[in-house]
Amino acid sequence: MNVRYRVELSQAERDELTAMLSKGKRAARKLKRAQILLAADAGCSDEEIARSVAVGGSTVYRTKRRFVEGNLERALSEEPRPGVGRKLTGKEEALLVATACSKPPAGRARWTLELLAGEMVRLTDHQTLSHETVRRRLAENGLKPWRKEMWCIPKVDGEYVARMEDVLELYAEAPDPVVCFDESPVQLIGEVRQPIPAEPGQLERYDCEYRRNGTVNLFVCVDVNKPWRKVKVTERRAAGDYAQCMRELVDVHYPDVACIRIVQDNLSTHSPGSLYEAFPPAEARRILSRLEFHYTPKHASWLNMVEIGVLRGQCLDRRIDDPNWLISEIAAWERQRNDAGARINWMFTIDKARAKMARAYPVTPKES
């Protein structure tokens, strides 16, 4: 076998195979064939190649034969495999995809494999069509019509772009301090029956029934430029509670700072008017004179660096029924994050926004 099929690569072919292996972004089989060809070109025996590449001797033989009898592309590609041909033609597959992306029949919330198979039998000349055939063709096109995802679809207009670039510019300039502010409700949920602790070979088990003990609100502040965050737990989320948080930022957390820049969303209470509702005019004016508000666009909470998602995942992903216990646990999480120096490495800039979201930007008339 070694005498008949001798691999001699050109310099261009060696360079192509070497680049393919260095990138590593191909199928594993193709990368192994590239290794086989390079080793054969270097004069290694079939046994040495099979041992170093971790393939069988027949794989080495077939790869060398297909290169000698064909070319490099043939040696790297898959040979046609025996078996039954595809049941659906190209046009029928396109019809299946279009059907899966259309509205389901009356009385049905979504398409299922059974419904799609029946619809294809009705629309084509096939007498029968298996669920597996439908599933494979849908998988090839990345479709799962029985699943859907909830998403906030923003209206990207001039106002959206202006607020987005204002916040991104603030993050890029990094004036000190910049505080991201947000709030979130939390349900107080207790156990009806005592959970069973985990043990070797057995997960912790808890009862599906639970007891609701009301809700509380979390006000979360995160400093963009420093490893500092503060979480305040309140009974309500009224304008007065928001105003108290702003006064604490000015008088307690940043008493020596002339201007604190606040990044927040468009909730109705997140406004200067809330401070006038909570304090006398002179006090409200005093606090607002040291605050500068920057608002994220509507449906663009991703622009706010506040760590509510981190807090929920690391601390609140469990049942807590007592407000005092909740305050204690949040304080421990807050202290650990601050002591660890945890910060957000913000990478998205105005230039990246204009490049990646160019199609979403409003179209402006060209200058003459």
Q: Give the residue from 251, 281, 249 showing the smallest Cα distance to 264.
A: 249
Residues spanned by the domain of 25: 11-76
- Does 367 map to a domain? no
Q: How far apart, in whole angstroms, are the C-alpha atoms of residue 197 and residue 129?
A: 49
Do both 310 and 217 map to the same domain? yes
Q: Is the domain of 238 the same as that of 174?
A: yes
Residue 225 neighbours by CB under 8 Å, 6+ apart: 174, 176, 177, 178
230 shares its domain with 336: yes
* pLDDT beyond 60 at 1: no
- Single-letter code of the amino acid located at 168: L
Cβ–Cβ contacts within 10 Å for residue 254, how many? 18
Q: Are residues 172 and 255 in the same domain?
A: yes
* 132 and 25 both lie in a single domain: no
Q: State the total domains in the chain.
A: 3
In a domain, 145, yes or no: no
Do 130 and 174 lie in a common domain? Answer: no
- Which pLDDT score is estimated for 193? 92
Q: Are residue 125 and residue 167 in the same domain, yes or no?
A: no
- Identify whether residues 341 and 284 lie together within a single domain: yes
For the sheet containing 210-223, what is the strand order? 229-234, 210-223, 178-191, 260-264, 291-295
Residues 135 and 173 in one domain: no
Whole-model pTM: value is: 0.66
290-325 pLDDT per residue, tens = 999 999 998 888 899 999 999 999 999 999 999 999
Q: Residue 332 sits in a domain of what CATH number?
A: 3.30.420.10
57, 47 Cβ separation under 8 angstroms? yes
| pLDDT at res. 2 | 45
- Nearest CA-CA partner of 270 in 344, 334, 219: 219
User: How much is the pLDDT for 153?
Assistant: 66
Mean pLDDT calculated for residue range 202-208: 91
Instruction: Tell me the sheet residues that pair with 179.
Output: 223, 262
First to last CA, the chain: 72
| Same domain assignment for residues 62 and 112 | no
The one-letter amino acid at 62: R
**Residue 344 and residue 279 share a domain:** yes
Q: Return the closest-CA partner of residue 3 out of 39, 37, 40, 36.
A: 40
Same domain, 50 and 125: no
Asked whether residue 272 is assigned to any structural domain, the reply reads yes
Kindly state whether residue 94 falls inside one of the protein's structural domains: yes
Average pLDDT score over residue span 117-141 = 92
pLDDT digit string (tens) for 46-94? Answer: 888 999 888 888 889 989 988 888 888 888 887 777 777 788 898 999 9
pLDDT tens per residue across span 238-259: 999 999 999 999 999 999 999 9
